[in-house]
Amino acid sequence: MSLPQVVSRSEWTEARRRLLSEEKKLTRQRDALNAERRRLPMVLIDKDYVFEGPDGPVSLADLFAGRGQLIVQHVMFGPDWDAPCPSCSKAIPQMTPTLFEGLRNRETTFVLASLAL
């Protein structure tokens, strides 16, 4: 690994100020892009999506469980697979009751979805 050039403190300060200016410009651009994304129109869901839950069929609206937001994480796990996709399922062991309580406090429901039976 090659190391950066060694310079005086004043040269470093000037280089850091130039970089900071570029970082701030990028932050402003990212903020503007995020605001534009938030202004995208919504799409009316007029199809009946039905999921198989632990207690039987569940509609998409039911997945919200009365909350304003829904996070759906798709886990690739086909009905004929022995195990889920390692990348898709890597975070599952970190999902604790405290995590879900925090989401509920933010009016959010979290759902894992796959084709596994």
Q: What is the pLDDT of residues 46-81, one digit of tens each?
A: 999 999 888 999 999 999 999 999 999 999 998 888
- Rounded CA-CA distance 62/41 in Å is 23
Arithmetic mean of pLDDT over the chain: 93
Q: Which of 82, 62, 81 is nearest to 72 (CA)?
A: 62
Q: What is the pLDDT of residues 15-34, one digit of tens each?
A: 999 999 999 999 999 999 99
Q: Which of 105, 76, 97, 78 is nearest to 88 (CA)?
A: 76
Task: Output the DSSP codes for 39-71.
Answer: TSPP----S--EEEETTEEEEHHHHTTT-SEEE
The residues pairing with 58 across neighbouring beta strands, listed in sequence order, are 51
* Under 8 Å between Cβ of 84 and 77: yes
Query: Phi, psi at residue 114, to the nearest 5°?
Result: -155, 175
Altogether, the residues listed in the chain come to a count of 117
